[in-house]
Amino acid sequence: MAKQSIGIGSSANDGTGDPLRTAFDKINDNFTELYGATAEANDLIEDSTPQLGGDLDVNGRRITSARSNEDIILLPNGTGGVIASALRIAGTTISSDDSSSVNINEGLIVDGTASVSGAVTMASTLAVTGVATFTATPVFSSDLTLSDDLSLLSDGATITFGANSEIQLTHVHDVGVLLTETGGGAPTLTFRDSDLAISSSADGQLDIDADTEVEITATTIDVNGNLDVSGTVVGASTISAGTAFVPDAADGAALGTTSLEFSDLFLADSSVINFGADQDTTLTHTDGTGLTLNSTNKLCFNDTSQFIQGSSATVLSLGATDEIDLTATAIDVNGTMDVSGTLTTAAITASGVATFNSTVAFNGAVGIGDLNILADGTFTTDTNGDFVVDPAGTGAIVLTGPITATGTQTTTGQLNVDNLRLDGNTISAPSSGGITLTPAAGQNVAVSGTNVNFTADEANFTLCEATTLRTNALQNDTSDGNLAISTQGTGAVTVASQLTLTGSFLPAIHTFTATDAVTIAEHAGRTLLLGEVGGNAAVTLTLPAATGSGAVYKFIVSVTNTSNYKIQVADASDTIDGIMLYLDEDGTAVTAFPTVAASDTITLNGGTTGGIVGDYLELIDIATDQYHVRGVMRVAAGANPATPFTAAVS
């Protein structure tokens, strides 16, 4: 074989020379040609003289040095490089002569700093034991795993997320990190799923959302601004406030609800509970003493008529509309008890002297030794013995009031009572004068027997000095005087037979000026005027329950009221039946409005439903739960009549 020369190019590193593989192939061929294929020819290191000059020798596929622990240096001249196949080593640079990349198919360990000026594409894992510095933005096409810390050393460093990098996490120097959405939306940090999130829905607002619960665990949770809670605050322990708990508006919130109540309330010494928009009422604690209600304010029960009040600096007042009930085993009064009204008790035990400055009425029994005075006025003893009234000396038993005896009374001899004598079966007046029978208040004089004969002249009886009962007449003997027949309370005067009036009958007039209750005793049969003084205040009149009494209630409007006269039944059981006539003064037409089955209220508004001066209506109690109505109303020009009937009583 002819000698093969290695092409070295026209100049150093001009790329025209033989590749490193070709050059070494020529060298191998020359050596093979020169030495043959013997083992001795392939193991030149055994030659006494190194075949590459100096201390370098060739041993098989190895270039070796005869110098222990020294480097083998391949040093091209000038800018030339060392080429192994297509891999070029020029100085500290490794490049490829046949492609744009250099493949390292085994693990790469860089013990110093690795500086990469171009792009780094990795199909597997990059392991960095030191610091990795990127002078440009790194792009990872797959997951990035760090086995240790990640440090972003630049102020304002940003981590972006998404194909269009719309979500950014930016470092703010000496502050923290900022989460933003480049499109101006609400950046959100979620946990587990989208229902658990921290976001900012608007500038100045941070939102923490959870589909079930947000749990904040700390020794102390400090809220420096206003806490707006639209739901329920559930405290497992104590809620402490550094200042005050206040609602978001005056009279704007309650403590607890009708179904969720607080338990105990603890207040400090000298604490004050303030009531009212201007705190006019206070309740103050006094250590070791109690609670003080300020000024003359009242502690009321049911309504303002039942109260406890410090009416002055030294007087405690208890007020009630009807009764103050003190219930105890014993009621101890250590001072003087001044009772200006009636004192009603079950039993009174006095350890000293009880002094009564006025009349004492005992509604129960009074025990004085063996003597008992019962509530009905009966005197009894604890034994079967006689009841003896025995004045001492010349004293007498003086009875200045009426005497009622329910048992048999035995009087030996004549009984003289003032100017009246009872002797046998005769009651007479020993001296001149008449005999007057005067029962107790509310009581009657009863004369019983088969025949009662009055034989006095003309059989005249004088009643209340000026009234005489004659044979067939009850007359007033006072000239031009009135004769009044009346009853007590709700009692009525009843005429059992035909009543003939030969003179005139004048019903009394009553004027309603404000809301009131209509009663049989006070208003039935009278002329009732609707006369609210100003003509601009609502007046509601409530009828008594309909019973079929026949009572007639006649109403006449004496003052026009633009704020309504309202006449209504007592309850939902009562109704009104009948018709009202209306004169429309525009065309002088008459319109009739009947009631319906449920009508129970009549409203006169001073306009469309009548109620101007002179209007009239009448109601009659005709049956249980039923009134009859009739009336005539006017509607002034400019308005059209409307029904006055409604079903408004529930």
Q: How confident is the model over 91-100, as pLDDT tens digits?
A: 778 888 777 6
Task: List the end-to-end C-alpha distance of the chain, in Å, as a whole number.
Answer: 133
Q: Which residue in this structure is represented by tokens 């061929």? A: 29
What value does the mean pLDDT take over residues 370-394? Answer: 76
Q: What are phi and psi of 623, to 5 degrees?
A: -165, 170
Instruction: Give exposure, 609-638, as e/b (b: 16+ Cβ within 10 Å).
Output: bbbbeebebbbbbeeeebbbbebebbbeee
Q: Which of 46-55, 289-298, 357-366 has the highest mean pLDDT?
A: 289-298
Q: How confident is the model over 5-22, as pLDDT tens digits?
A: 888 888 888 888 888 898
What is the arrangement of strands in the sheet containing 93-96, beginning at the earlier edge strand? 82-84, 87-90, 93-96
Confidence band of 545 (pLDDT split at 50, 70, 90): very high
Whole-number percent of the chain with pLDDT over 90: 22
Is residue 48 left, alpha or beta, with left meaning phi > 0 and alpha meaning psi from -120 to 50? alpha
Distance separating alpha carbons of residues 484 and 410, to the nearest angstrom: 42
206 touches 212 (CB < 8 A)? no
Nearest C-alpha neighbor of 275 from the set 300, 303, 242: 300
475 touches 494 (CB < 8 A)? no
**Whether residue 254 has pLDDT greater than 90:** no
Q: How confident is the model over 480-539, as pLDDT tens digits?
A: 777 777 777 767 777 777 777 777 777 889 999 999 999 999 999 999 999 999 999 999
The secondary structure of 127-171 as a DSSP string is --SS----SS----SS----SS-----STT-EEEESTT--EEEEE
Give the E-state strand segments of 66-104 in sequence order: 82-84, 87-90, 93-96
**Whether residue 596 has pLDDT greater than 90:** yes
Q: Which residue in this structure is represented by tokens 């978001």? A: 248
pLDDT at 456: 55
pLDDT at 265: 86
Nearest C-alpha neighbor of 10 from the set 78, 95, 84: 78
Predicted TM-score (pTM) of the model is 0.33
529 touches 511 (CB < 8 A)? yes
pLDDT at 593: 96
Q: How confident is the model over 285-308, as pLDDT tens digits?
A: 999 899 999 888 888 888 888 989
555 touches 530 (CB < 8 A)? yes
Confidence band of 420 (pLDDT split at 50, 70, 90): confident
Name 542's bridge partners: 517, 568
pLDDT at 281: 92
- List, in order, residues 6 or more apart from 287 with CB less than 8 Å away: 269, 270
Region of poorest pLDDT, from 438-452, 543-557, 562-576, 624-638: 438-452
What value does the mean pLDDT take over residues 387-410? Answer: 76
Distance separating alpha carbons of residues 136 and 214, to the nearest angstrom: 42
pLDDT at 45: 42
- Burial tier of 57 (Cβ tally within 10 Å: 0-12, 13-18, 19+): buried
Higher pLDDT, 515 or 371: 515
Cα angle for residues 290, 294, 297 (degrees, 5° grid): 115
SS3 labels along 500-514: CCCCCCCCCEEEECC
Higher pLDDT, 381 or 455: 381
Region of poorest pLDDT, from 268-282, 419-433, 572-586: 419-433
The gap from C-alpha 374 to its chain's centroid, in whole angstroms, comes to 55
Higher pLDDT, 177 or 532: 532
pLDDT at 146: 73
pLDDT at 647: 95
Q: What is the largest CA-CA distance in the chain?
A: 198
Beta carbons within 10 angstroms of residue 439's beta carbon: 11
414 touches 421 (CB < 8 A)? yes
Q: How confident is the model over 117-135, as pLDDT tens digits?
A: 766 676 666 666 667 677 7
Distance separating alpha carbons of residues 74 and 63, to the nearest angstrom: 11
Instruction: Indicate the average pLDDT of the chain.
Output: 80
